[in-house]
């Protein structure tokens, strides 16, 4: 079994962010509600509150610098997920590159020659035209709602580990553009994305993109590889020179990988009892904090992962 | 006069973020309100809507990799601003380092030996003990309020180019922890910051820190240098090894620099007519956007800068 150090880091981030600047004096002095720390909540969580990765919906991007693990969201973008699955299966992404890194916005990867029909890589059996998958019906969605006010949508919450926003008036629900979310780049036409060009959010949640582009999943581990890449130029962060790009060695669907090579990571279930406890711990800050915000937003809480067994 | 390429980039970012993914087909097809783009609003803005840098409240951090320009906020943190000014004046920061980079959170710099009284660098004439400067009275503050709902505070807006949150019930106003804001690291005691250890926000706005720590200013240019540094380890992003740190060559107050060496940058006045126009353009998305969010939050709009004359 392969150990996933990035995953450990991600889990640690959620814990570590709490006593944010108390490095010099880590002992918390003021007990308050909730008395249990995020670290302890995670430590004490029953194994049943965690789920394994779904090999059919998880892709591994390999770079010389490390790995990025992405969970697809077929419930929200079934056709894009199917396309990405097919493209990973046929090696479409292998040898492509991160072509754009715009500070406080996105890192984007795909075919640098995608705009040139003569040079563009073939999509193979993947669909060249997909419908926009910007939202799905709210009705029947197992949405764990947050009580906290959000400026961008009437309702927010979590489904299957993904941050979700919704509007009961229109009956729509959609994946929210939080840090680490992955979307499918498109041109001016709403239905012009294929999944061949993807981006990950690496800055303040660009919620203005919600309902404007198809969100296909989220980074489970390795986002720090993408977020720390050198920024591109003033043309929306696209690199001016080919040599500035970061090459993608290959992208594989976990289901296509030998069992022994798959990363083993578990994801906290957002329909578990542990998740609302974690949200409460994050909503009510204690210890180092002198002011308790009693608030979180859907993009300020990341669903934790832990090394699998 | 020295040209400031980073500043140009920052200004470009605000413009470029609008047609976010339309690189392949940059022509916008659907005219809508507002018809004027952010780029055009900035281009058409009168010179009087821009202000020069205040040499007494702007510091330049120099790295081998580039420069980071920070504007202090003496209205909100007068004693911290005075301390930082004094420390920059005496070269306190010269040769120190970025000691911590935690993904989706902060980059932090200061004295790596600050915890060791035997090795810690002397603060010189700067104050070793400052009061917490977490908020100031809302009364009398020239706050340009946003009409948009914010989950973290009853009121948000801008003062002197800084994102501000406020609570009319408590009469408090404070700087909001948006991307690029700079704060003074502290230990467990609220009044334990000196300004000798500073951090910049490099991820989703950690608004839970608001009212919990003294915010001293914001990065005007060069944030991408800090945000793209390699991330530190699981201990809150602190680097495990000294050689992982990024050395600070020197930090100078602009007032202490020869005129010819000072960066020349102009900042859009948030009490100008241009600023609410830009906010409106960002609030009402057109062209590439098929859904108009009709919303912004105080951390999704960055006050632009442009090269000075």
Across chain B, what does the average pLDDT equal?
90
Q: Is residue A64 part of a domain?
A: yes
- Is A31 or B214 the better-scoring residue by pLDDT? B214
Pick from B26, B30, B37, B104 the residue to mutate for testing the A interface (most A CBs within 10 Å): B104
Flag whether A282 is in a domain. Answer: no
**What pLDDT, on the 0 to 100 scale, is given for residue A35?**
73
Question: For the segment A126-154, what is each residue's pLDDT rounded down to a tens digit?
Answer: 999 999 999 999 999 999 999 999 999 99
Q: Specify whether the backbone of A12 is left (phi greater than 0), alpha (psi in -120 to 50) or beta.
A: alpha
Closest CB from B13, B21, B233 relative to A186: B21
Residue with tokens 């294929």: A194
Q: What is the mean pLDDT of residues A22-33?
A: 37
By CA distance, what is B282's nearest residue in A? A208
Residues 6+ apart with CB under 8 A from A42: A11, A14, A15, A268, A274, A278, A304, A306
Count of domains for chain B: 1
Test the B interface: residue of A113, A208, A216, A305 with most B CBs within 10 Å: A208
Q: Is A288 within 8 Å of B188 when comparing Cβ atoms?
A: yes
Longest Cα pair distance anywhere in chain A, in angstroms? 66
Decide if A188 contacts B29 (C-beta within 8 A). Answer: yes
Cβ atoms within 10 A of the Cβ of A34, count? 17
DSSP character for A48?
A: G
Residues A198 and A162: beta-carbon distance below 8 Å: no
Would the pLDDT of A103 be above 60?
yes
**Buried b or exposed e, range B102-115, using 16+ CB within 10 angstroms:** bbbbbbbbbbbebe
Q: CA B188, CA A67: separation in Å to the nearest integer?
A: 36
Separation between Cα atoms, residue A116 and residue A280, nearest integer Å: 50
Cβ pair A228:B230 closer than 8 A: yes
The reply to whether residue A223 touches residue B151, judged by beta carbons under 8 angstroms, is no
Does the residue B121 lie in any domain? no
Contact with chain B for residue A186, Cβ under 8 A? yes
Say what the pLDDT of residue B33 is: 58
- What residues of chain B lie within 8 A of the CB of A291, using their CB? 134, 210-212
pLDDT band, very low/low/confident/very high, at A227 (cuts 50, 70, 90): very high
Encoded tokens for B7: 């500043």
Long-range pairs for B111-120: beta carbons < 8 A, 24 or more residues apart: B111/B196, B111/B197, B112/B242, B112/B245, B114/A24, B114/B196, B114/B197, B115/A24
Question: What is the domain extent for residue A160?
Answer: 53-113+130-266
Cβ-defined contact of B16 to A234 (cutoff 8 Å) = yes
Domain presence at residue A203: yes
In a domain? residue A262: yes
**Chain A residues closer than 8 Å to B6 by CB:** none
Lowest mean pLDDT among A40-49, A94-103, A111-120, A205-214: A111-120
Burial of A147 (0-12, 13-18, 19+ CB in 10 A): exposed
Q: What is the CATH number of the domain that holds A232?
A: 2.40.100.10
The SS3 call for residue A273 is coil
A288 is a domain residue = no
Nearest 5°: the CA angle B27, B33, B38 is: 60
Write out pLDDT tens, residues A263-301. 999 999 999 999 999 999 999 998 999 999 999 999 999
Sheet containing strand B305-307, strands side by side: B50-52, B265-268, B305-307
Does B17 touch chain A if contact means CB atoms closer than 8 Å? yes
Distance, in Å, from the CA atom of A262 to the CA atom of A264, rounded to the nearest integer, reads: 6
Structural domain includes residue B122:
no
Does A297 map to a domain?
A: no
pLDDT tens profile A231-254: 999 999 999 999 999 999 999 999
B278–chain A nearest CA distance, Å: 15
């Amino acid at each position: 079994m392969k150990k996933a150090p990035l995953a450990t880091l991600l889990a640690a981030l959620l814990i570590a962010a709490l006593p944010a600047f108390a490095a010099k004096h880590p002992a918390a002095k003021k007990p308050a509600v909730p008395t249990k720390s995020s670290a302890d909540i995670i430590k004490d969580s029953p194994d049943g509150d965690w789920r394994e990765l779904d090999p059919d919906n998880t892709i591994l991007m390999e770079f010389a610098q490390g790995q990025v693990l992405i969970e697809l969201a077929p419930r929200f973008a079934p056709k894009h997920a199917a396309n990405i699955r097919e493209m990973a299966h046929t090696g479409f992404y292998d040898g492509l590159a991160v072509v754009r890194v715009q500070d406080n916005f996105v890192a984007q990867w795909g075919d640098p020659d995608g705009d040139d029909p003569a040079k563009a890589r073939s999509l193979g059996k993947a669909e060249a035209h997909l419908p926009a998958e910007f939202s799905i019906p709210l009705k029947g969605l197992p949405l764990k709602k947050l009580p906290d006010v959000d400026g961008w949508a009437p309702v927010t919450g979590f489904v299957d580990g993904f941050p979700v926003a919704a509007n009961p008036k229109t009956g729509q629900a959609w994946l929210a553009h939080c840090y680490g979310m992955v979307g499918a780049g498109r041109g001016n036409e709403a239905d012009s994305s294929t999944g061949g060009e993807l981006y990950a959010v690496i800055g303040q949640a660009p919620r203005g993109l919600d309902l404007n582009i198809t969100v296909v999943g989220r980074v489970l581990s390795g986002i720090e590889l993408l977020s720390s890449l050198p920024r591109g130029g003033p043309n929306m962060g696209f690199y001016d020179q080919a040599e500035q790009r970061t090459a993608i060695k290959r992208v594989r669907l976990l289901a296509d990988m030998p069992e022994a090579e798959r990363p083993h990571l578990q994801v906290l279930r957002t329909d578990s009892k542990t998740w609302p406890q974690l949200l409460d711990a994050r909503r009510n800050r204690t210890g180092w904090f002198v002011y308790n915000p009693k608030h979180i937003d859907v993009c300020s809480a990341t669903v934790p992962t832990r090394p699998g067994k």
